[in-house]
Copies of this chain bind each other. A is one copy, B any other.
Amino acid sequence: MVAKSKKQKIARPKAETPQGFQDYFGETHKFRVQMMNDIAEVFNKFGFDPLETPAVEYLDSLGKFLPDLDRPNEGVFAWKDEEKWLSLRYDMTAPLARVAAQYRNTLPSPYRRYAMGPVWRNEKPGPGRFRQFYQCDADTVGSSNVAADAEMAVLTSEILDVMGMAKKDFLIKINNRKILDGILVVAGVLEEGNAESDSETRGAIFRAMDKLDRLGSKGVRQLLGKGRLDESGDYTKGAELTGSQIDPIMNFLELGNQSNTEILDKLRDLVAETDVGSEGVYELNEILDCINAQNSDMENFVIDTSIVRGLDYYTGPVLEAELTFEILDEKGRRKRFGSVAGGGRYDDLVKRFIGQKVPATGVSIGIDRLIAARESRQAEKIKVRGPVLVTVMDRHRMADYQKMVADLRKAGIKSEVFLGNARNFGKQLKYADTRNCPIAIIQGEEERNKGVVLIKDLELGSKISETASLDEWKSRDWQQEVRVENLISTIKEILAK
Contact = CB atoms under 8 A, between A and B. Distances in A.
B52 A387 contact: no
A338 interface: no
Interface in A397-424: 398-400, 402-403, 405-406, 409, 412-421
A140 B431 CA distance: 14
Interface in A61-104: 61, 63-65, 77-79, 81-82, 84, 86, 88, 98-99, 101-103
Interface stretch (A16-24, A219-227, A325-333, A480-488): A16-24
A143 interface: yes
A13 interface: yes
A274 to B, nearest CB: 18
Interface in A35-55: 37, 40, 44-47, 49-55
A476 to B, nearest CB: 26
B1 A409 contact: no
A225 B262 CA distance: 85
Nearest to A147: B398
A12 B18 CA distance: 35
Contacts of A84: 18
The 5 residue pairs across chains A and B that have the minimum distance between CB atoms: A47-B416, A47-B387, A79-B79, A15-B101, A294-B406
Interface stretch (A195-203, A208-216, A449-457, A461-469): A195-203
Given A14-B353, A352-B3, A398-B145, A132 B51 contact: no
A312 B132 CA distance: 29
A438 to B, nearest CB: 12
B15 A406 contact: no
Contacts of A353: 12-15
A140 B13 contact: no
28 contacts: A1-B65, A1-B312, A2-B199, A4-B199, A13-B63, A15-B99, A16-B58, A17-B54, A18-B57, A18-B81, A18-B86, A22-B54, A24-B50, A33-B50, A45-B413, A56-B88, A56-B132, A108-B434, A108-B435, A109-B427, A110-B418, A110-B420, A147-B417, A150-B402, A290-B398, A290-B399, A292-B399, A294-B403
A142 B420 contact: yes
B29 A120 contact: no
A235 interface: no
A255 B303 CA distance: 76
A198 B4 CA distance: 10
A289 interface: yes
A5 interface: yes
Interface in A317-360: 348, 352-355
A53 to B, nearest CB: 5
Contacts of A178: none
B26 A49 contact: yes
Contacts of A416: 46-47, 112
Contact of A29 (B3, B52, B98, B118): B52
A374 interface: no
Give the dominant DSSP class at A's interface.
mixed
Nearest to A143: B419
Given A86-B18, A398-B145, A386 B23 contact: no
A289 B399 CA distance: 7
Contact of A18 (B5, B54, B147, B196): B54
A9 to B, nearest CB: 13
A60 interface: yes
A293 interface: yes
B16 A312 contact: no
A390 to B, nearest CB: 10
Contacts of A395: 145
Contacts of A16: 58, 61, 98, 102
A30 interface: yes
Nearest to A49: B26
A60 B4 CA distance: 14
Given A1-B202, A14-B353, 12 more contacts: A2-B203, A3-B63, A12-B352, A17-B102, A23-B52, A24-B52, A33-B40, A46-B409, A47-B414, A109-B420, A112-B419, A140-B419
B4 A348 contact: yes
